[in-house]
Amino acid sequence: MNIPKKIVILGGGTAGWMAANLMAKKWQSQGFEIALVESPAIGIIGVGEGSTPQLKTFFDIIGVQESEWMPKCNATYKNGILFKDWSTRPGFESYFHPFASHIDAHSAPAFIYNSVFRRQGIAVDCHPDRFFLSALLAKQQKTPIPDYNFPFPISYGYHFDSALLGKFLVEKAVARKVKHIEATVEDVALHENGDINFLHLDNGQKLRADIFVDCSGFRAQLIQKTLKVPFVSFKDNLFNDSAVTMPTNDMATAEDKKDQKLNSQTISTAMKYGWAWDIPLTNRTGNGYVYSSNYCNADQAETELRAKLGLLESDVEVRHLKMNVGRVEKHWARNCVAIGLSQGFIEPLEATALHLVQETIEGFIDAYSAGNYTHSHQDSFNQKINNRFEGVRDYIVGHYRFNSREDTSYWRDNAQNNHISPQLKTIVQAWLKGEDLNKTLANSNNVNYYPPVSWHCLLAGYGIFPPQLKTMPSHEHAHKYDLNYIDEFIKRCATNFKDHRNFLIS
Ligand SMILES: Cc1cc2nc3c(=O)[nH]c(=O)nc-3n(C[C@H](O)[C@H](O)[C@H](O)COP(=O)(O)OP(=O)(O)OC[C@H]3O[C@@H](n4cnc5c(N)ncnc54)[C@H](O)[C@@H]3O)c2cc1C
């Protein structure tokens, strides 16, 4: 059989270079030819500085050690995300969302167990922060990498400079014989059957391929503009469509850095019309405000972020961005697969975009290979990726739907938004009725992406509980777990982890 082995990737943002690296790693030995074309004139979006633990598996697959890539990208470790001011319920003004780790098996069951009783009005503690080692590591500004004597790995993500990560990935891909072309695609020619035939570059070259990978960012040059695959907007579910970014704390010298503590978590703070991120890199802090342009304009958003950062008069570098929130109907259509912002985007609250990028690339490699390089697995691939998008969307929507802020119509409208999926409704009803959420999630046919512990953290972290009963029924079962023991267990575990800044410098 003549295997179609020519692949052209359009776009050199993080998505394009991740695709180039993974495809080269998988297919290079089988004689695939991979070329990537990117336009220096158009450039990349250049934001996206937080990841999930999935990014570690990406580097593991392409055989790159942290000691090699992290210093080059000013990268730091991420234990999870601290959500501040999303809930106004006393005692629940902030909570930490950890990445699930094996060590949590010693403490998370108590959290889940207590939440069942707390939902019946019984006074037991189930604020998530008390039950997760990662929450304490983040609070103590420690790295998630344990000392040698503590043999329990912790899940973690990263923070990084996305422009530097892009440059790093170019080198790696080119070393694997990916052909790098700098030019702008001016036109796209189709075969008679509607497949893509070639890309016409502004240097006169025609780029032919068997498979075209659309990594052209929000432009979606191939999947949407050329192949006219419809876009399914999530704007009724998720209101935010804009962002303003403003880096701070530039540290010029190693001496500057040495004396400063370094966060090992992303901080997401609710603002008047959205939320602001605080992402620590080794040399600076990334800040941005994601908001809805239906509720405030770009100047207002910039002023609010400046005020938060104490930069009202500063000439700090500011960028304003628009976001297209939703997904394409099909990620693989004809001989084109879309990866990255071209396939869709869910706002960056849980920093899931690169996770979805990686899943799409790996899913495509598997589906194309399993189908013997035909399109036979196209439908199941598209269904799987769509499910992923919907699953992430529902979890993000939950953050807005359950907020209890009343300060602006933005938050009030979000709390009353009825554009939520049947799956999300089922989860909420189970929680409010005091049912076992683990069972609900396991039994439903829904497209869950987040594990039950994440849903518990969100709902318990917001303090969504009935009022505590005035007269306490004697409920011996409610106090099955000794929380002092859990406090001590987590505290002692945390002594096996080093200060984040010192760990990165050493
Ligand atoms: C405000 C914001 C915050 C974000 N935060 C996060 C986060 O914390 N974590 C996370 O995982 N993700 C985040 N993301 C998403 C993340 O930025 C993207 O998923 C990631 O950068 C990949 O982008 P991309 O490669 O798809 O597109 P881009 O970076 O836009 O790259 C597009 C490429 O296509 C090329 N191109 C386009 N048209 C042509 C043409 N005609 N000819 C030649 N070349 C062309 C461009 O030159 C460029 O190289 C965020 C996004 C936004 C908007």
| DSSP of 282-324 | SS-EEEEEEE-TTT--HHHHHHHHHHHHT-TT-----EEEE--
Rounded Cα gap, residues 195 and 226, in angstroms: 10
C-beta atoms surrounding 472 within 10 Å: 11
Mean pLDDT over 402-431 rounds to 94
Mean pLDDT over 54-70 rounds to 97
Query: What are residue 187's DSSP bridge partners?
Result: 200
C-beta atoms surrounding 319 within 10 Å: 13
Does the C-beta of 215 come closer than 6 Å to ligand 1?
yes
Mean pLDDT over 439-455 rounds to 80
Ligand 1: which of 341, 355, 358, 392 to mutate, judged by most atoms within 8 Å of the beta carbon?
341
Whether 308 is catalytic is no
What is the pLDDT, as a whole number, of residue 474? 60
Give every CB contact of residue 385 below 8 A, 6+ residues apart in sequence.
331, 343, 356, 359, 360, 363
Phi, psi of 5, deg, nearest 5? -115, 5
What is the pLDDT, as a whole number, of residue 445? 60
Element (H, E) at 112: helix 108-118
The first and second tokens of residue 498, run together, are 């080093």
More confident of the two residues 9 and 434: 9
Does the C-beta of 8 come closer than 6 Å to ligand 1?
no
3-class SS letters over 364-418: HHHHHHHCCCCCCCHHHHHHHHHHHHHHHHHHHHHHHHCCCCCCCHHHHHHHCCC
Does the C-beta of 19 come closer than 6 Å to ligand 1?
no
Mean pLDDT over 182-210 rounds to 97
Distance 13 CA to ligand 1 centre (A): 5
Q: Evaluate if residue 257 carries a pLDDT over 80.
A: no
Element (H, E) at 165: helix 162-175
Only one residue has tokens 């912790």, namely 154
Mean pLDDT of the chain: 94
Which DSSP letter does residue 149 get? Answer: T
Rounded Cα gap, residues 22 and 216, in angstroms: 18
Distances (CA, A) of 493 to 81, 483, 486: 20, 15, 10
The first and second tokens of residue 250, run together, are 């530039």
Residues 81-123 have pLDDT tens digits of: 999 999 999 999 999 999 999 999 999 999 999 999 899 888 8
What is the pLDDT, as a whole number, of residue 1? 59
Q: Evaluate if residue 177 carries a pLDDT over 80.
A: yes
Does the C-beta of 286 come closer than 6 Å to ligand 1?
no
Does the C-beta of 11 come closer than 6 Å to ligand 1?
yes
What is the pLDDT, as a whole number, of residue 436? 86
Percent of the chain clearing pLDDT 70 (strictly above): 95
Does the C-beta of 13 come closer than 6 Å to ligand 1?
yes
Q: Evaluate if residue 449 carries a pLDDT over 90.
A: no
Q: Evaluate if residue 343 carries a pLDDT over 90.
A: yes
Ligand 1: which of 45, 49, 266, 359 to mutate, judged by most atoms within 8 Å of the beta carbon?
45
Does the C-beta of 157 come closer than 6 Å to ligand 1?
no
Distance 43 CA to ligand 1 centre (A): 9
Distance 186 CA to ligand 1 centre (A): 19
Confidence of residue 345 (pLDDT cuts 50, 70, 90): very high
C-beta atoms surrounding 395 within 10 Å: 22
What is the pLDDT, as a whole number, of residue 440? 87
The DSSP bridge pattern shows strands 80-84 and 266-270 to be: parallel
Q: Phi-psi bin for 475: left (phi > 0), alpha (psi -120 to 50), beta?
A: beta
Does the C-beta of 318 come closer than 6 Å to ligand 1?
no
Of 26, 78, 172, 330, the active-site residue reads: 78
Strand order in the sheet with 319-322: 94-98, 80-84, 266-270, 274-280, 285-291, 242-245, 319-322
Does the C-beta of 441 come closer than 6 Å to ligand 1?
no
Rounded Cα gap, residues 268 and 288, in angstroms: 10
Confidence of residue 4 (pLDDT cuts 50, 70, 90): confident
Confidence of residue 61 (pLDDT cuts 50, 70, 90): very high
Residues 358-373 have pLDDT tens digits of: 999 999 999 999 999 9
Q: Terminal CA-to-CA distance of the chain, rounded, Å?
A: 54
Q: Evaluate if residue 251 carries a pLDDT over 70.
A: no
Distance 211 CA to ligand 1 centre (A): 21
Mean pLDDT over 345-362 rounds to 96
Q: Evaluate if residue 311 carries a pLDDT over 70.
A: yes
The first and second tokens of residue 108, run together, are 């998370």
Strand, coil or helix: 267: strand
Q: Evaluate if residue 447 carries a pLDDT over 70.
A: no
Rounded Cα gap, residues 79 and 141, in angstroms: 9
Distances (CA, A) of 331 to 89, 161, 220, 303: 41, 27, 11, 38
Distance 353 CA to ligand 1 centre (A): 10
Which DSSP letter does residue 99 get? Answer: P
Give every CB contact of residue 260 below 8 A, 6+ residues apart in sequence.
251, 501
- Choose among 327, 358, 357, 367: nearest CA to 345: 327
Rounded Cα gap, residues 72 and 35, in angstroms: 25
What is this structure's pTM? 0.95
The first and second tokens of residue 164, run together, are 């530097």
CA atoms within 13 A on the CB side of 45: 26
CA atoms within 13 A on the CB side of 237: 25
Residues 18-60 have pLDDT tens digits of: 999 999 999 988 999 999 999 999 999 999 899 999 999 999 9
Does the C-beta of 184 come closer than 6 Å to ligand 1?
yes
Q: Which atom of ligand 1 is nearest to the CA of 352?
A: 11
Rounded Cα gap, residues 418 and 390, in angstroms: 16
What is the pLDDT, as a whole number, of residue 3? 73
What is the pLDDT, as a whole number, of residue 314? 86
Distance 464 CA to ligand 1 centre (A): 36
Q: Which atom of ligand 1 is nearest to the CA of 245?
A: 1
What is the pLDDT, as a whole number, of residue 470? 60
Q: Which atom of ligand 1 is nearest to the CA of 351?
A: 9
Q: Evaluate if residue 254 carries a pLDDT over 60.
A: no
Mean pLDDT over 400-417 rounds to 97
Cβ–Cβ under 8 Å, residues 173 and 20: yes
Distance 175 CA to ligand 1 centre (A): 23
DSSP labels for 237-254? T----EEEE--B----SH
